[in-house]
Amino acid sequence: MRPQPVDRTMKNRNLLSEKLKESTGAVLPIVLIVCAVCMVFVPIESGLLLSFLLGSVMLIAGMAVFSVGADLSMSKIGGCIGAKMTKSKKVYLILLISFFIGAAITISEPDLQVLATNVPEIDKTVLILTVSVGVGLFLMICMIRILTRIQLRIILIASYALVFIGLIFVPSEMWAVAFDSGGVTTGPMTVPFIMALGVGVASIRSDEKAKSDSFGLVALCSVGPILAVMLLGLIYKPRAASSEAATAISLFENTKELGYQYIARIPEYLKEVALALLPIFAFFLVFQIVSLRLRKQPLVKILSGVVYTYVGLTLFLTGANVGFSPLGVILGGKIADSGAKYLLIPLAMLMGWFIIKAEPAVQILTKQVEELSAGAISGKAMGVSLSIAIAAANGLAMARVLTGVSILWFVIPGYVIALGLSFFVPATFTGIAFDSGGVASGPLTAAFMLPMAMGACKAIGGNIMTDAFGLVALVAMMPLITVQIMGVIYTVKSKRAPAELIVPNFGDDEVIELWEVA
């Protein structure tokens, strides 16, 4: 009986090794590009660059350990709670638990933590709680949609119509932050829970369309934060503009001073992450005692996964906020101050190209579309189209910083096109497209690209709230259009050769695979 722990330990080591390769592949291209720019075009203090390199190591390690923890614990907790909850078939209980889980799990989403740290005029805790409540409320709406069999397209059109109407009453300073908030909520913490709940609730119904109706949960839960932050803009009095990312920048006289800066911040993030994970962990323990009653082995596995998650998220936030983001602010500012400020646009596009190509979830997405289209759309073609789209999104975001063009000139036409395409493509393509909107806006977008935009905006005297923010929103919007355009191509090809191109009958497991890379 003793070999089992050894086997489990080896399995965890292999999983950690795999995640390290993935996180290294995602971060390393950005590190190399930044180092090249700093050594050839933009002079940076050596202490700041060394801090960036140390932060990069912590970011890689943190992303890997966090991903392992999410696989071992968070997805399992979501599955267990979702399965147990739906057995009762009590609608009020499903809605109540859905709201609490949606809100609790969003608090610990790493991308949201980084975004909230960088927003200058809104208190970090206030923004995180607002976004979390928005996710919880819309997760309840998702459950109602599944139970009442309302089409996803109708809910999406109604939700975004409400968003665009609300823009009339909300201060313009909140527009970009609101859309960015919707882009950072769909990550490895929230999605496993959301998908597990959707599949569980759909199982209550016995009709043929039950499974297909569980598509779109992630998409709808991205709308909730947009509306919640817009509402916050109506009632919240902004504080004086000063971002933690900017104030954290300091020049180090020696390596001892640099090391002390990191060591001094780690206890702060240990406490912060503990508070973020506490609600969902406490809820799980109560659920375990009252209802789940898991056996020792799966319980120990989940608890070890929570430890991985805690350590990984602490490393990630420390590396991002102490080493990674500050250099982004400085680099963006120095390029904008130079005579070659328009270099920001091609540089951002180059980084966007590599960021999206290194995202493991994007690789899964391209394979899914290839299988879904029975080979009519190759994975390579899908990957290239996504890379072009995300590179364009980053370029447009930097163009906004330099020109001050409103975010509405991009998001309104973008979402109108995305919603319009839903009438011309198979429903499965629409479901995958809207559910994968958060795939492209990974940790590096919030941790480096956004701070770089903020630094550039500050250097040229722009408004950070209106001009720099919105980058995450543009990146998150692109897959909605790109995946559905591929769906249009498939539809055209299938009409020309209907016998050769038959859509396989995919279930919800395929969508779950998009996020559960392991």
- What pLDDT sits at residue 190? 78
- Nearest-CA neighbor of 236 among 113, 124, 159, 103? 124
Secondary structure class of 505 (helix, strand, coil): coil
Residues 6+ apart with CB under 8 A from 240: 121
d(CA 234, CA 85): 36
The model's confidence at residue 202, banded by pLDDT at 50, 70 and 90, is: low
**Rounded to 5 degrees, what angle do the CA atoms 284, 286, 291 make?**
90
The model's confidence at residue 239, banded by pLDDT at 50, 70 and 90, is: low
- Nearest-CA neighbor of 488 among 418, 440, 437, 441? 418
Q: What number of other Cβ atoms are within 10 A of residue 156's Cβ?
A: 21
- Taking only the tens place, the pLDDT of each residue in 94-122 is 888 889 988 988 998 888 988 998 898 89
Of 372 and 236, which is predicted with more confidence? 236
- Nearest-CA neighbor of 216 among 437, 463, 506, 517? 437
- What pLDDT sits at residue 462? 92
Residues 6+ apart with CB under 8 A from 360: 22, 26, 517
Report pTM.
Answer: 0.86
Using a 10 angstrom Cβ sphere, with 0-12 exposed, 13-18 middle and 19 or more buried, the burial of residue 390 is buried
Q: Which whole-number Å values give the CA distances from 168 to 159, 172, 234, in the listed order? A: 15, 9, 11
d(CA 397, CA 404): 10
- What pLDDT sits at residue 47? 85
Identify the weakest region by mean pLDDT among 376-390, 401-415, 499-513.
499-513
Of 501 and 51, which is predicted with more confidence? 51
CA atoms within 13 A of residue 277's CA, in its CB half-sphere: 27
- Taking only the tens place, the pLDDT of each residue in 218-231 is 788 889 999 999 99
- Nearest-CA neighbor of 193 among 251, 243, 132, 249? 132
Identify the weakest region by mean pLDDT among 93-102, 342-351, 434-443.
434-443
- What pLDDT sits at residue 511? 43
- What's the average model confidence in pLDDT over 459-482? 91
pLDDT surpasses 50 at 243: no
pLDDT surpasses 50 at 246: no
- What's the average model confidence in pLDDT over 185-199? 72
**Residues constituting the chain:** 518
- Taking only the tens place, the pLDDT of each residue in 282-293 is 988 988 888 888
- What's the average model confidence in pLDDT over 388-406? 93
Identify the weakest region by mean pLDDT among 69-73, 138-142, 335-339, 435-439.
435-439
d(CA 83, CA 392): 41
DSSP letter, residue 253: S
- What pLDDT sits at residue 144? 85
